[in-house]
Amino acid sequence: MLNRIFKPVILVTLVISTVLTIGSCQKAKDTVGVVVVKDSNGNLVSGATVVLHLDSLAENQQGSLYNSNLRKTDITDASGRAEFTYELEAILQVSVTKTQGNNTLTGSNVIRLLKEKTVTQEVRIN
């Protein structure tokens, strides 16, 4: 009699443990920053170099400069977009340059990345 009750209890316990373990292994969503580059007329700009980086004077609590692993560079596509993926939240400087003939167009802004969200920031260059 005890054996009949014991086997189903063990089986139910194993099933519940398995379901809870599988359900808790979800991968966290990416933290994505999208920069859209436009010229002074509001036209999308392709082929612009977009750099996300910390302010050059940023220091951590130990007084040394932050690691440069946060610095990422991308080129805008035909729709004027550059996309960056990070693991954690960050507040980063956005620097954009585009060379057209003898002219170099530049622009800058700040982007605040939120964990597991996609944040879009526009930068105007002139």
Ordered per-residue pLDDT tens for the chain, 126 residues: 556 776 777 777 777 776 666 655 567 789 999 999 999 999 999 999 999 998 755 555 555 555 567 889 999 999 999 999 999 899 999 999 999 999 999 999 999 999 999 999 999 999
Q: Are 92 and 105 in contact (CB under 8 A)?
A: no
Residue 70: per-residue pLDDT = 83
Give backbone dihedrals phi and psi of 15, rounded to 5 degrees, phi first.
Answer: -65, -45
For residue 21, give the H/E element and its range. Answer: helix 2-23
Report pLDDT for 58: 53
Query: For position 32, what pLDDT does the model report?
Result: 97
Token readout for 54 is 């910390």
The pLDDT, as a whole number, for residue 94 is: 96
CATH 2.60.40.1120 fits domain 28-125: yes
Could you state, in order of their start, the residue ranges of all structural domains in the chain? 28-125
Amino acid making up residue 15: V
pTM reported for the whole predicted model: 0.73
Phi/psi of residue 67, nearest 5 degrees: -60, 140
pLDDT of residue 102: 95
Burial class (CB in 10 A: 0-12, 13-18, 19+), 83: middle
| CB-CB contact of 71 with 118 (8 Å) | no
